[in-house]
Structure 1
Amino acid sequence: MERDELEIKDILDQLDRLYESGDKEGVCKLVEELSPDSIAELLDILDDPSECQWILECMDDAIAAETLMLLYPELRIAIVERLSDEKLARYIAELPSDDAAELLREVDEKRWENILKLLPQELAKQLVELISHPGETAGAIMAHEVESLPGNYTVAQAIADLVRFGDDIEEIFQIFIVDDDGKLLGFVPIQRLLIAAPGQKLAEIAQPVDVVVPVDADREYVVDLFRRKDIVSAPVVDSEGKLLGRITIDDVLDVADEESSKDIYKLVGIEVEEGGEIHDIRKRMPWLLVAFVGELVSGFVLKSFSSTIVHFVLLTSFIPLIMALGGNVGMQSAAVMIRKIALSRWGTDIHSKTVLREIFAGFALGVITGGLLFLLGWFWGDLKVGFVAAVAIIIAMTISATVGSTLPVIFNKLGTDPAFATGPFITTFNDVIGLTIYMVVASVLLNIL
């Protein structure tokens, strides 16, 4: 074990002992030298909501609130469910508005009214506005804290404002310039502000804003925008161009991580929603039924070709391989297309090129694996079966790649999330089609050869 691992294990053991003995003072002494991200790492390893809640409540509210937001979402939500409204309100009051709104969204809506009453009036008003935005939009991840000043302010006045209010804003990259109605006119980078003459007007040194995020923009669009423009912060405006807040790169990275996780789950037919065991079963069962019916069809196909199998028993040896390779190629092609769709707003011509490339890849992989199967048939002393398996795998992998690459595009055009709809369909379809192709090719070719 490395030294760091030993230190972590030692701290975890101490935390467990302190928790069992109820020694809150000991916990405070143990974690006071650690940063919030280090504490969060330890709590993620513990993965016990009750113990983690107890440890957080031993800490200063500001540190505990920051640590809470750094935990894995599943653990954080489990802890939030156990916290009292009073404790939650104290944590929320210590957070920037975007994190505060995110934490409030993770609380049962029935508790919102009481928690908001416990918060300062101005913060409560901000949070009500933030949580009113749909969860998948830019408004849901923006922060209200933003430095905006009128263009007739001097550089000296702007710097004085920064000194006075800087602690209220997490990170300041630029000052936004607004008119009397609050409409965004431009911005002044901090480095430009610091080297400008004190008497200069902000309007004289302001630069035009290249990237503006509409408050109702989809958050996946925001991720793509930050990636393409290579920016760390962007203003958020309403339909009239009024400055509402800003989005920073840390929020975008969180969204990108969440969306990637959701896509992975959806690819295997699981919705990422909070709920108990019954809820999980209800969400997964429809796609398992799709697979259940598909495999029944596969069994029917085998039964229909039982006479062929009886005469050529060696055929059965290749069935798992045909189905597995076809399924893998299909899922690989689907993953490529889903990634392309998620990261771009390309036109149909670009999608067509990608589809054709995936089909060719499926065919080429089929030829390679088909050659190996033919050699395997020769090694086993049955060239006929080896040839049948080779032809079948070429056709099956080509069709699987075709289906895998086209289904995401079709579902996307229909307005259905391709990641959610594609996985279960491709898995089931490829099993049925791969087996059917194999049996049909076997019946035809073995009668000819």
Structure 2
Amino acid sequence: MPVKASDVKQLQDYIEKGWEFHIIDMLHDLKPVEIAELIEALDEESRGKFFVLLDVDTASEVIAELSSESREDIIDGMSDKDLARIVQDMDSDDAADLVGDLHAERAERVLAELSPEDSFDIKALLKYPEDTAGGIMQRELISALPNATVDEVIAEIRRLHTEIQNIHMVYVVDNRRMLVGTVPLVNLILSKPDATMAQIMDLDPMTVPVDMDQEQVANLFKRYDSMVMPVVDEQGVLLGRITVDDVVDIMEEEATEDMFMLAGAEEDLLSSSVIRNASTRIPWLFVSWVGGVLATFLIRGFETTISKVVGLAAFMPIILGMGGNVASQAVALIVRGIATGASSTTNFKSIVIKQIGVGILLGAMFGAMLGAIAFFLYPDELRISVVVALSILISMSLASFTGTLLPILFYKLNKDPAVASGPFVTTAMDIMGVAAYLGIAVALIF
């Protein structure tokens, strides 16, 4: 249930007056994610005052839901010991994310306050890049040897159920911790008490390599419709597990990242200062600016042509605009296809050919319509109609090709294909569109 503005105002009033009882009473029916939304709506000073009223269990869930800015506001006002209590109560993956955001000295102090086991788990996760399977996995899981019985494993689950959330699977490992099979929880419940894991386990389970990119992990979950997957190293040793709730977060993160990349912006700019907003966007806009300047010089080189046939200038905006639109559509299709796995290295060639065909078809259709309009406006200059029709055909065909090829090239170079969008495509299309239009005009009219 979304947080209401009236709730935020009331909470702010309670905090300012120091009415802790009313604040605690207000929290009774709220879930951690709703409490996090309330905190996000408070001012910086009130966030810390409010957060200290939460019990450790609630605080550990709420802090994992907060934005980095709100989390930083709260953490800066906490002692290392209090922060360690919250970290110790968090899932290892969330705890590692939080500790990883601290500066090195404080991270060491907080880790020193934890139990040796929790400290080891977090340090083990921090050594992996945050955008890989190792960086998003959690180490809490239920594992058993092949000769363990159903009764023994169920007893272990009962013992650990408060420490390990969302138990979907039992992982069967040998004495070297190598994964040899899995037992879904429902199979465990339905099996005979004296049956061993070796008798009921699924052999050759689907696994995630520890160094796999998080976007590929998300695609794997989607492809196999999984709730949880084990993470293993090169030797097949079980390291942890990834649950579907983490994958949902990844999908949102990747989609948001691509969307902002397409626009040449960053996610946190709305809450940033004017100077940071401007400085972050300058590099992207500078690329477009350079492209516009180059196109200006190109047009200047055709001044004589334009001055003799003034009607040519009237159609330049629509030819450049349509080319840019087609290129942007192609980029969006390919970037999305790569993100979801629909576009892969095995079908890139057919995708490029198909999109060129789409560009030609669209160019022919809009070229015919624009040529007819040109003839209506300039009935005595048939050549203008021909130039306009051919130019938009070539411009849209090139745009479809460029918008398809650039993201693929970036992907092949192990760069984010979303970077190929925005100013790069726009710049390329401005230059190619002007060159094609005025080049055809010179060839056919003069």
Same fold judged by TM-score > 0.5?
A: yes
Q: Is the 8 A contact 2:57 2:86 kept in 1?
A: yes
Distance 1:13 1:386, change over 3 A: farther
Q: What is the aligned length? A: 442
Alpha-carbon distance, 1:247 to partner: 0.6
1:400 equivalent in structure 2: 399
Task: Look up the match of 1:420.
Answer: 419
Task: Give the direction of change, closer, same or farther, for the CA distance of 1:206–1:28 in structure 2 (3 Å limit).
Answer: same
Partner residue in 2 for 1:367? 364
Contact 1:81 1:107 in 2 (8 A): no
Q: 1:296 aligns with which of 293, 297, 310?
A: 293
Are the structure 2 counterparts of residues 145 and 422 from structure 1 closer, same or farther at C-alpha, using a change threshold of 3 Å? same
Structure 1 unaligned blocks of 5 or more? none
Shift of 1:120: 2.2
Q: Structure 1 residues 11 and 399, CA, compared in 2 at 3 Å: closer, same or farther?
A: same
**Matches of 1:110 and 1:377 in 2, distance apart?**
70
SS in 1 for 2:170: strand
The answer on 1:227 being equivalent to 2:227 is: no
Alpha-carbon distance in structure 2 between the residues aligned to 1:47 and 1:336: 39
2:377 is equivalent to residue 377 of structure 1 = no
The percent of aligned pairs where both chains have the same amino acid is 35
1:333 deviates by 1.0
Q: CA deviation at 1:426?
A: 1.0
- Please name the residue that 1:11 is paired with: 7
State the shift of 1:171 in Å: 0.7
1:243 and 1:439, CA in 2 relative to 1: closer, same or farther beyond 3 A? same
**Structure-to-structure mapping, 1:47-446, within 5 angstroms:** 48-73=43-68, 75-77=70-72, 79-80=74-75, 83-270=78-265, 284-344=281-341, 348=345, 350-382=347-379, 384=382, 385-446=384-445
- Asked if 2 retains the 8 angstrom alpha-carbon contact of 1:268 and 1:420, the reply is no
Q: What is the SS of the residue equivalent to 2:300?
A: helix
- Please tell me the residue identity of whatever aligns with 1:118: E
| Number of the residue aligned with 2:17 | 21
Q: Return the alpha-carbon distance in structure 2 between the equivalents of residues 295 and 135 of structure 1.
A: 38
Q: Structure 2 unaligned runs (5+)?
A: none
Q: CA deviation at 1:167?
A: 1.2
Cα gap change, 1:189 to 1:317, in 2 (>3 Å)? same
CA deviation vs aligned residue, 1:177-218 (integer Å, no higher than 9, x gap): 111222212122211111222122222212214201122222
- Could you tell me which residue of structure 1 aligns to residue 37 of structure 2? 41
> 1:346 and 1:333 mapped to 2: Cα distance?
12
Residues 86, 115 of structure 1: 8 Å contact kept: yes
The answer to whether the 8 Å contact 1:269/1:421 transfers is no
Contact 2:47–2:73 (8 Å) recurs in 1:
no
Q: How many angstroms does 1:73 deviate by?
A: 4.7
Q: How far, CA to CA, are the matches of 2:58 and 2:251 in structure 1?
A: 25
- Which one is further off, 71-80 or 157-166? 71-80
Contact 2:173 2:180 in 1 (8 A): yes
Deviates more, 1:437-446 or 1:268-277: 268-277
Cα displacement (A) at 1:141: 0.7
1:202–1:403 Cα change, 3 Å: same
Aligned partner letter, 2:173: V
2:407 aligned partner, one-letter code: P
Q: Which moved more, 1:412-421 or 1:160-169?
A: 412-421
Structure 1 length-normalised TM: 0.90
What one-letter code is carried by the residue in structure 1 that aligns with 2:26? L
CA distance in 1, matches of 2:107, 2:346: 48
**Cα distance in 2 between the residues matched to 1:118 and 1:24:** 29
Kept in 1: contact 2:8–2:42 (CA 8 A): no
**Maintained 8 Å contact 2:173/2:179:** yes
Q: Could you tell which deviates more after superposition, 94-103 or 347-356?
A: 347-356
Structure 1 counterpart of 2:367, which letter?
Answer: G
CA contact (8 A) 1:25 1:58 kept: no
Structure 1 residues 349 and 186: CA distance shift in structure 2, 3 A: closer
